[in-house]
Chains A and B, each alone.
Chain A
Amino acid sequence: MGSQGISRRDFVKGALVTSGAAAASTILGSCQAAAPASAALPSKWDKEVDVVVVGAAVGLAAAIEAATAGASVLIVEKGDHIGGLWIAAGGSCTMGGNNVVQQRAGVKDDLEAWYQDEMYASEYRAQPEIMRTLVERGAETVKWMEDLGMVWDTLQAGVLRPPIKRGLQPAQAPGVYVGGTGTPNGGICWIQVWEKKLKQLGVPILLKHRMTRIYRAENKGPVVGIEVKNEKGTLNIKARKAVILCSGTWTDNYRMAQAWDPRIVGPDCYGDGGTPTDGKLFVDSAGDGHLAAAAIGAGFSDMSFVSYIYIFFGSRSYWGWGEEPLDWTTNKNYAAGKGLPRTADFYQRIILVKNDGSRYINEAEGARPSVPGRGGLTENPEWPFTATYLSLPQPRNVWAISDADGAAALEWPVEAMRKPNPKVGQMFDPECLAIADTLAELANKMKIPADALQKTIERYNNFVDAGKDEDFGKPMPLFKIAKPPFYGAKASLIRHTQRNGLRVNTKMQVLEQADQAEGYGGAATPTSVSIGQEKVIPHLYAAGECADVLGWRRPHNSLGHYTTAARIAGENAAKETPVK
């Protein structure tokens, strides 16, 4: 047993074994700190370090920087493994600034061009000062990752507007990390690179320790520690210099979702953290950091813009890690989830019907080409396809319908659909699939009125003959739905990653919500709107998806920016003057 009753099994294997900035005895030694001045603070600290990092995904990057700067660091993670949602990510990122990969590829880039492309991508909702900071430090992050062991693959286009190539992707690097190009995913590469460095630095990670509270001294004083709960009870951990929140997003927390947008909760609406079929959450994006920070005065931004809403067909899981027992040290069992591929010809061949058996949209809207550099097709809730779905009354009970010819043309994995396993592969879910010999039988399985569905399809087939969709103007070619068996794939709304969260400044310090009243001058013309002038919650930092560091709606491929933000948080946290 470790000290303070913490099992060694709760530490990442290998942590604490090397000499580093923080010796184990310092971190875990008996911490009999003096009773804090505030009654709201614990009378006794169970542990004491310079910097506590909450969350073991991008928090690992923050911890590396803080420890490298000489701080003693402790990471707490509520899950039973490190990596959070990051470990499930594809792993690519879009980073410019004339970074080392661009240099090797002979691509010319500069900070201003990159900054402008980022602002364009976010539809100018990114906070300009933060975005400029991320751009200025971006190339350095690419090199930093490379120095830690990341092997970047050939430069790709990336997701920002052309023509400058900025797309990075981990290449395979056997012996350094698993994953990378040609394997199921690459998010795990980042995690394993960071994990290796933290072992060298001797930074411990407490798994299955969930932060439940942030302690802040009275009178808007500094943050001095956190409360965590584990299987045995509650611990109070003092953070002499800072607490860094890297606790991820909130999209599994349907109560928070209800607060921001009631349309994204209810039947057929899910978070992205697990398998609804058995209620298991691999990550549990519960908004722990958001809620604990709000309780001590932090503010949010962009929360009503709930970005990255996906509509899947046939599955209600974004990702998985295969069958039990799960092995988080390899991605060979990674399940990509997401159901049927949502390609342009998918939307062309299927029809979408809602709960009353009628169509409600030109299905081809699902394949509307995106504006280059402003993200993907169906992930934006304000785009017509998703917005129309969101505007339907609940229960929406929307199904994509096709027939034997459509399934063959789209090369659907029919056998996997007939024996759906929501744990593997595309994670087809029995609740989200219906296969039937006739349309009437299909309607019954989908719990849709059979007469209405048959009339809808009869009318649609008539449009096919006529060469014109008179109801919704779906462009040609149209395809009849006539040949058995018939297939139904239920639509599920998935709340995916977010670009909103705790407000921070360019140092990744969490901003004081009350400053919006105190700092407001009462004049018709603002004297300054710089976030650099806003009051912060001293000694509290946030990075990654927990913080609103990117603004509405920077496209995917944001792992690089999150890493930069976490590094900045770690650096600055280590510089804080310790509280007594």
Chain B
Amino acid sequence: MEKTRVHETSTSLVKPTLAEFYAGTDIPIKVRVSSPCGCDLRGNTVNIIAEGTPIRQLELVEFDGAANETEELLVRAPIDAGEYAWVVAFPAQEKDGVLHEGSSVPLSLLVKPHMASIAVWDVPSPLVVGERFKARVGVKCSAGCNLAGKKIEVYDHRGARVAGAVLGDSHWPDTEGLFWAEVELEAPAAEGTYAWAARLPPLELQVSHGEVTHTFRFRTGKPAEHAVTVQVFDQDTGEPLEDAQVILQPYVRQTNHVGVAVLEVSRGAYGLYVCRHGYQIHRASLDVHHDVEVKVGLAAVPHDANEEG
């Protein structure tokens, strides 16, 4: 009777190349098994073992003349964050009269929790006391979960809930996965600066998302009394400058296509600042006691020969 030959084997991971994954997300796993004799082991299998229990089996499907590889399999990461010590094992298997000994490789995973975070923007400031206004609230899950339809809330400086909204289906432009909603709010009745908070309640998803809040600040003031019209132009050419930012601290407006911005402000003394990329910042003081028109010529930033080398 012919004696069964025995070959050692070696198991290694082609994937994953990373060790960190978000809870409940897919982990790509691809395994390589080889023997010193370069045996074709296609049809044999490897096991993925978690906490001592095989959870998935992969078949060796590729052989390049030296080593065998499985197809790539997606395995769901645990839903609880933490460190996990999995094992990928090639059990002893016989093929064509050759017994291939078992071998294994550890698969260490750091499973991270899903962290939601919030952004709040387009909050007008200053607001007129008591006026209604709109702001935008966006929420992002670090693991990229779909948050469409989830509720967000806004709380005022006293901790009272003042608004709620449902996140829409689309991402905010130029973001990777920021689900957002517009909320309508009412400014406090008194002048001052305020810190309010947007809140995402705990989410009932497969993977837990803890509550998260984000503070945003704004200022309230008296109703506007006068219009300040600022005309901005290129100091050298006289051409009007569109999209210049005109700041009558704390009021802010952009110039239109003819280089004009109109700011409705209350009576008082202001710092006037006009900015546009490629031009030097214009700084001045302005006392507003009635409607006023101001012309501002911006000087182009001079070429800096010191950067030339």
Contacts and interface: CB of A to CB of B under 8 A. Distances in A.
Interface stretch (A20-28, A247-255, A480-488, A563-571): A480-488
Nearest to B254: A409
Contact of B175 (A379, A437, A454, A497): A437
A556 B306 CA distance: 5
B13 interface: no
Interface in B259-308: 271, 273, 275, 277-278, 280-281, 283, 301, 304-308
Tell which of A167, A187, A348, A441 has the most Cβ of chain B within 10 Å: A441
A370 B304 CA distance: 11
Interface stretch (B91-99, B101-109, B116-124): B116-124
A439 B306 contact: no
B125 interface: yes
B142 interface: yes
A454 B197 CA distance: 13
A251 to B, nearest CB: 13
A18 interface: no
B117 A440 contact: yes
Contacts of B177: 437
A375 B118 contact: no
Contact of A467 (B178, B215, B271, B278): B271
Nearest to B212: A440
Contact of B140 (A438, A465, A475): A438
Contacts of B217: 458, 461-462, 465
Max chain A C-beta neighbours (<10 A), residue from B142, B214, B306: B306
A415 to B, nearest CB: 10
A414 B175 CA distance: 12
Contacts of A370: 306
A175 B250 CA distance: 58
Given A438-B138, A440-B115, A476-B273, A158 B193 contact: no
A439 B278 CA distance: 28
A345 interface: yes
A476 B309 contact: no
Contacts of A475: 283
Interface stretch (A84-92, A292-300, A389-397): A84-92
A348 B178 contact: no
Interface residues of A, number: 56
B256 to A, nearest CB: 16
B178 A438 contact: yes
Contacts of B146: none
Nearest to B172: A484
A316 B177 CA distance: 29
Query: Which of A409, A438, A497 has the most chain B CB within a 10 Å cutoff?
Result: A438
Nearest to B136: A483
A344 interface: yes
A410 interface: yes
Nearest to B271: A476
A497 B309 contact: yes
A437 B119 contact: yes
A465 B218 contact: yes
B140 A187 contact: no
B219 interface: yes
A156 interface: yes
A465 B219 contact: yes
Contact of A485 (B115, B117, B174): B174
Contact of A557 (B214, B218, B219, B308): B308
B247 A477 contact: yes
B140 A437 contact: yes
A411 interface: yes
A229 B122 CA distance: 64
Contacts of A88: 309
Interface in A74-99: 88-92, 94
B275 A465 contact: no
Interface in B56-70: none
Contacts of B193: 462, 465-466
A305 B218 CA distance: 47
A409 B172 contact: no
A460 to B, nearest CB: 10
A157 interface: yes
B63 to A, nearest CB: 35
B308 A477 contact: no
Nearest to B302: A157
A373 B37 CA distance: 75
Interface string A356-384: 00000000000000100001110100000
A7 B305 CA distance: 42
A555 B309 CA distance: 9
A483 B121 contact: yes
A441 B142 CA distance: 7
Contact of B306 (A375, A441, A450): A375
Contact of A482 (B119, B250, B271): B119
B236 interface: no
B302 to A, nearest CB: 9
A32 interface: no
Nearest to A404: B174
B216 interface: yes
Centre residue among B117, B123, B138, B140 by max chain A CB count within 10 A: B117
A444 interface: yes
Contact of A444 (B142, B215, B280): B142
B229 interface: no
B47 interface: no
B188 interface: no
A159 interface: yes
B204 interface: no
Interface in A424-472: 437-441, 444, 450, 454, 458, 461-462, 464-467
28 contacts: A91-B308, A345-B281, A370-B306, A375-B306, A376-B307, A377-B306, A409-B275, A437-B138, A437-B172, A437-B175, A437-B178, A438-B118, A438-B138, A439-B117, A441-B140, A441-B142, A450-B117, A462-B193, A464-B250, A467-B271, A476-B249, A477-B249, A477-B271, A480-B125, A482-B122, A484-B121, A484-B172, A557-B305
Interface of B: 115, 117-123, 125-126, 138, 140, 142, 172, 174-178, 193, 195, 214-219, 245, 247, 249-250, 271, 273, 275, 277-278, 280-281, 283, 301, 304-309
Task: For the complex of A and B, list the 3 residue pairs with the smallest distance between their C-beta atoms, beginning with the closest.
Answer: A90-B308, A376-B306, A440-B117
Interface of A: 88-92, 94, 156-159, 167, 187, 343-345, 348, 370, 375-377, 379, 403-404, 409-411, 414, 437-441, 444, 450, 454, 458, 461-462, 464-467, 475-477, 480, 482-486, 496-497, 555-557
Given A437-B178, A444-B142, 8 more contacts: A345-B277, A439-B117, A464-B250, A465-B126, A477-B249, A483-B119, A484-B174, A556-B306
